[in-house]
Amino acid sequence: MTETKLRETICLLAKSMFDRGLTGGSTGNISARTEDGGLLVSPTGTSFGRLDPARLSRFDADGNFVSGDQPTKEMPLHSAFYDTRSTAGAVVHLHSCHSVALSMMPDVDPDNFLPPMTPYSIMKLGKVTLLPFFMPGDPAMGDAVRGLAGKRSAVMLANHGPVVAGKDIEAACNAIEELEDTAKLAIMMRGYRAKMLTPEQVNAVVTQFNVEWD
């Protein structure tokens, strides 16, 4: 994808998520690899609903900031995924309500945050690790992601929001939407005796779709 097209796609997908209430105000950030190995990143303090393709922050292949507005303060999160996952072509971070709500529940599994409700969260995300609370912009968030050694494509920041890496910008956006949808289902079904996928069914999905699951 050309850089011009990538800039337009980032802004289009970000606005779509904003318009559907997946992140509000000036929350969330998004980045994607360019053809030359650099990065395009949403600027600090900007709204997903009003990103300007020409003003996206631009980094070269060596990680040097070269043009555009100043990048999001959450760059350590993005860099951690790119540095530890060779397949990462884009990273998205949202402040989506249902996933944040689920992160506050005392009984969630920090090693496998999402309950096995549908095959699609397993297929698109693998296991999602719940990380503890960090102050916004704290570089320690990036350190926590690096500590996973590239084994997770998605993490949930407790009381904050999800972060997902994908092979490209569309894959990352689709996956983070699946994360939020699954969290919404989990909240909706609390108090009911919901039938989850069995361990055998989960293993079948993992095997059939070659999902990272260790």
**What global pTM score does this model have?**
0.96
Q: What is the average pLDDT value for the chain, to the nearest integer?
A: 97
Residue 78 tokens read as: 């993005």
% of the chain at pLDDT higher than 90: 99
- Which CATH architecture group holds 3-208? 3-Layer(aba) Sandwich (3.40)
- What does the pLDDT read at residue 12? 98
DSSP assigned state of 47: -
Q: Which residue has tokens 């096995």? A: 116
Among 120, 137, 184, 187, the active-site one is 120
- What does the pLDDT read at residue 87? 96
% of the chain at pLDDT higher than 70: 100
CA distance 47 to 9: 15
- What does the pLDDT read at residue 120? 97
CA distance 6 to 29: 15
DSSP-assigned beta bridge partners for residue 29 = 93
Over the stretch 122-169, which tens digit does the pLDDT of each residue have? 999 999 999 999 999 899 999 999 999 999 999 999 999 999 999 999
Question: Would you call 192 a catalytic residue per the annotation?
Answer: no
21: confidence class by pLDDT, cuts 50, 70, 90: very high
Closest to 98 measured CA to CA, from 78, 112, 114: 114
pLDDT beyond 90 at 214: no
CA distance 28 to 180: 14
Question: Can you give the residue ranges of every domain in the chain?
Answer: 3-208
